[in-house]
Amino acid sequence: MSESSYNFIFVIVFLCLGLRSSAFTNLNTLSFKESLSPLFGDGNLVRSPDDLSVRLLLDKYTGSGFISSNMYQHGFYSSMIKLPADYTAGVVVAFYTSNGDVFEKTHDELDIEFLGNIKGKPWRFQTNLYGNGSTHRGREERYRLWFDPSKEFHRYSILWTPHKIIFWVDDVPIREVIRSEAMGADYPAKPMSLYATIWDASDWATSGGKYKANYKYAPFIAEFKSFSLDGCSVDPIQEVPTDCSDSVDFLESQDYFFINSRQRTAMRRFRQQFMYYSYCYDTVRYPVPPPECVIVPAEKDRFKDTGRLKFGGTEARGRRRNRRQQMSEIESDPDERRRFLK
């Protein structure tokens, strides 16, 4: 069994047996025209007849994208997304919030970016956040997915409140950032729009730019549906600020604001198995970890000073053998499955 197959089984077993409720069962979903507008590449943005889904295309001439019709002071942004299939190296699909069009030098941003893929390899993606134009202090984390995101739709979500940020993949919270006073203006604080884009990032996206976009596979198609946007709609340049306290209270009362014990276990297991870079452990870049970092010994032990995984070669093969053996025991023994999920 390949390592990617093992990883798939590892997490699926956990999710199937361990997560019994969804944080997203009561979302208020919207049509495209209710909440979104084309951003660029109009001819490559194809809305469904019922206006409940949209396809973004990239060809050799242009990519495409859309933007939320409003800006929000804090919010919950979510969509079911299916990524392009086959060879997609160099192609970036991004689902993110930003206010760069309004605050060019002091913009805020929250990112989920899919980094292209070579068919048969695990998909890789990253999350990031910026506040007040602090692009030189990026807070990247990079991961592999435990499924093929081009085969079916999965839900990707970003929660942003004055107190914390959570990135979700389906029902798994993959990253939580608790606001620290020491972060100051690095914590995103100004109204942001939601964006989704597909574009050619051959110079950096896949294996650091080693693999480029190949347009014989074009058009590359990303599909979006089941949009959900909750937040306080504001005009960022109005003289009298909008009171968004009721909206924040609403966001912080929803299931997606809380990470229950099983979801927290899922997050820990995801980060142990699928996170392959974290700025918090990059001691070359940050000799002193940024103030919001929570240093987890089990995570720290897995990384070099570069923040990347430190195992490889024969050690990695040994880890794979041990994992396969553990997985076999878990699958064959019901009692072992229950212990695994505790």
Q: Of residues 3, 34, 104, 109, which has the active-site annotation?
A: 109
Instruction: Give the separation between CA 254 and CA 166, rounded to whole angstroms.
Output: 13
Instruction: Give the separation between CA 67 and CA 54, rounded to whole angstroms.
Output: 12
Q: Of residues 3, 34, 104, 113, which has the active-site annotation?
A: 113
Buried b (16+ CB within 10 A) or exposed e, 54-69: bbbbbbeeebbbbbbb
Most distant CA pair in the chain, distance: 65
Instruction: Give the separation between CA 184 and CA 186, rounded to whole angstroms.
Output: 5
Our answer to whether residue 141 is catalytic in this structure is no
Find out whether 206 and 93 touch, Cβ atoms under 8 Å: no
Instruction: Give the separation between CA 166 and CA 77, rounded to whole angstroms.
Output: 11
Record the tokens describing residue 221, joined without a space: 């198609």
Find out whether 153 and 35 touch, Cβ atoms under 8 Å: no
Find out whether 174 and 168 touch, Cβ atoms under 8 Å: yes
At 317, which amino acid appears? R
Handedness of CA 179, 183, 189, 195 (dihedral sign): negative
Find out whether 16 and 337 touch, Cβ atoms under 8 Å: no
Our answer to whether residue 109 is catalytic in this structure is yes
Long-range contacts, stretch 239-244, CB < 8 angstroms, 24+ apart: 242/73, 244/73, 244/74
Find out whether 266 and 174 touch, Cβ atoms under 8 Å: no
Residue closest to 340 by CA, chosen among 320, 322, 326: 326
Record the tokens describing residue 312, joined without a space: 């490889």
Q: Which residues are catalytic?
A: 109, 113
